[in-house]
Amino acid sequence: MLVYCTPSIKIEVTRSMMGQTSPDTIPLPMAQGNSEVDEKALRAHPISGSALVESQQFGKSLWEKTGKLTVKLPDATLKDYFLKCVTWVCPKTICLGKIANKEGSYFLLVEFRHIARQPAEPTKLASHLADMHLRCVSPTGKFGFHIATCHTKIIQVIDVWDDSWCVVFRRHLGHITSLASPVFQWPEFDIVSRVVLGKVVPRLLLPLQSDGRVQKPSLVHGDCWDGNTAVDRKSGEAFIFDACSFHRHNEHYTGNWRAPRHNLSGKAHIENYELHFPVSEPVEDWDARNQLYSLPYNLGNVIYVPESSQRQVYENSLYSNLS
């Protein structure tokens, strides 16, 4: 438990604030009937002469269109792809393009992977993530990113490069609390936000880069919850998808594993990860940092997930501890 005080307010941040729902079993994604494909997405296929054989709606998403495409390559080979269409500004990649006649919408075309189960099991997922975090190198040696990325519909204002992880995270969390404020519509939330941004963030994050400590910026997935991890049916290997990455403290991604609503929130995933990537110093701050890192994910849940339980959890927890 963390206790932070202002002249008239005591705020106890407990694990109960991070979510009370039990993790649900995630059904495997399945085809759900035929689906139309934007012509520009078909023309963007990198192999000239390829032809669409079948297009199906595949899997579920709260606010996006997802599908499975079967394409015949010029040598008559059939290959499957996963298509995702979204309606907000997205970072451009090789497989991304703008959808014709639909302002603000883009498509993403990637290789199709058959899923054996979700989420991925702890040992393989943790080792893959730790290896990625250890090996990646920030192009500037700093925290941040060259463009803004998106977590759900939230544009992450991390399109800066800064030596201080505290500065980048505070900017990131400050933007999310500003979006959450009109959703909560209660004065205590704004007070708590100011305390967290002004007092808690520097208290917990500045020590990571103080007293001779050096913190390596890691390219982190950014939304590594149950539904964005899986085991490949063919290879048996863990894989991840639907990233909203930027270069950050590697432990930041585990904030999404704190909420009991996720299967990944069990001890096994974090313990396996720490076998490959030890906890940052000061070690005694790990649990408090993890609570802090859970805030952007839980607030995003309140803002955009229909029937989210997180709003009531926050209100009950904070009201009961204000004095």
Structure tokens given for 300: 């995003």
Structure tokens given for 155: 């544009």
Kindly tell me if the per-residue pLDDT of 30 is higher than 80: no
Mean pLDDT in residue range 32-46: 75
Query: Could you report the per-residue pLDDT of 112-136, keeping only the tens digit for each?
Result: 888 888 888 888 888 888 888 888 8
Structure tokens given for 123: 């040992």
Confirm whether 307 is domain-assigned: yes
pLDDT of residue 150: 82
Give, for 192, the enclosing helix (H) or strand (E): helix 187-195
pLDDT of residue 7: 33
Confirm whether 24 is domain-assigned: no
Q: Is 34 helix (H, G, I), strand (E, B) or coil?
A: strand
Most confident of 111-125, 203-217, 250-264: 203-217
pLDDT of residue 89: 30
Where does a domain end: 92, 114, 136? 114
Q: Which of 49-63, 86-100, 117-131, 200-214 has the lowest mean pLDDT?
A: 86-100
pLDDT of residue 314: 63
Residues 205 and 305 in one domain: yes
Residues 192 and 238 in one domain: yes
Residues 269 and 174 in one domain: yes
The answer to whether the beta carbons of residues 181 and 252 sit under 8 Å apart is: no
User: How would residue 308 be classed by pLDDT, with cut points 50, 70 and 90?
Assistant: confident
What are the backbone angles phi and psi of residue 144, rounded to the nearest 5°?
A: 120, -155
Residues 193 and 137 in one domain: yes
pLDDT of residue 167: 97
The answer to whether the beta carbons of residues 17 and 320 sit under 8 Å apart is: no
Confirm whether 79 is domain-assigned: yes
Confirm whether 312 is domain-assigned: yes
Greatest Cα pair distance, the chain, in angstroms, is: 73
Give me the domain span that covers residue 253: 2-17+118-319
Using alpha carbons, list the distances in angstroms from residue 262 to 12, 20, 144, 257. Answer: 23, 10, 27, 7
Residues 107 and 163 in one domain: no
Confirm whether 23 is domain-assigned: no
Kindly tell me if the per-residue pLDDT of 87 is higher than 60: no
Kindly tell me if the per-residue pLDDT of 21 is higher than 50: no
Confirm whether 68 is domain-assigned: yes
Kindly tell me if the per-residue pLDDT of 141 is higher than 80: yes
Where does a domain end: 62, 84, 114? 114
User: How would residue 283 be classed by pLDDT, with cut points 50, 70 and 90?
Assistant: very high
Residues 136 and 273 in one domain: yes
Q: Tell me how many domains the chain contains.
A: 2
Residues 131 and 237 in one domain: yes
Confirm whether 26 is domain-assigned: no
Mean pLDDT in residue range 139-143: 93
Which of 5 and 110 is assigned the larger pLDDT? 110
Where does a domain end: 95, 114, 133? 114
Q: What percent of the chain has pLDDT over 90?
A: 24
Q: What is the Cα–Cα distance from 173 to 193, expressed in whole angstroms?
A: 9
Summary mean pLDDT of the chain: 79
Structure tokens given for 297: 């994910």
Which of 219 and 315 is assigned the larger pLDDT? 219
What are the backbone angles phi and psi of residue 81, rounded to the nearest 5°?
A: -135, 155
Residues 134 and 179 in one domain: yes
User: How would residue 229 be classed by pLDDT, with cut points 50, 70 and 90?
Assistant: confident
Kindly tell me if the per-residue pLDDT of 62 is higher than 70: no
Confirm whether 35 is domain-assigned: yes
Residues 171 and 279 in one domain: yes
Q: Reading across the β-sheet that carries 238-240, which strands appear in turn?
A: 115-117, 229-232, 238-240
The answer to whether the beta carbons of residues 17 and 302 sit under 8 Å apart is: no
CA 281, chain centre distance (Å): 24
β 2-5/10-13 pair status: antiparallel
Query: Could you report the per-residue pLDDT of 261-276, keeping only the tens digit for each?
Result: 777 777 888 888 888 8
How many contiguous H segments (helices) and E segments (strands) does the chain have?
A: 8, 17
Query: Could you report the per-residue pLDDT of 160-185, keeping only the tens digit for each?
Result: 999 999 999 999 999 999 999 998 88
Residues 176 and 268 in one domain: yes
Rg over alpha carbons for the chain, rounded to the nearest Å, is 21
Q: What is the Cα–Cα distance from 239 to 65, expressed in whole angstroms?
A: 21
Domain containing 292 — which CATH number?
3.90.1200.10
Residues 105 and 135 in one domain: no
Residues 225 and 77 in one domain: no
What are the backbone angles phi and psi of residue 51, rounded to the nearest 5°?
A: -135, 140
Using alpha carbons, list the distances in angstroms from residue 154 to 27, 82, 158, 280, 314. Answer: 26, 23, 12, 28, 20
Kindly tell me if the per-residue pLDDT of 92 is higher than 50: no
Q: What is the DSSP letter of 21?
A: P
pLDDT of residue 63: 52
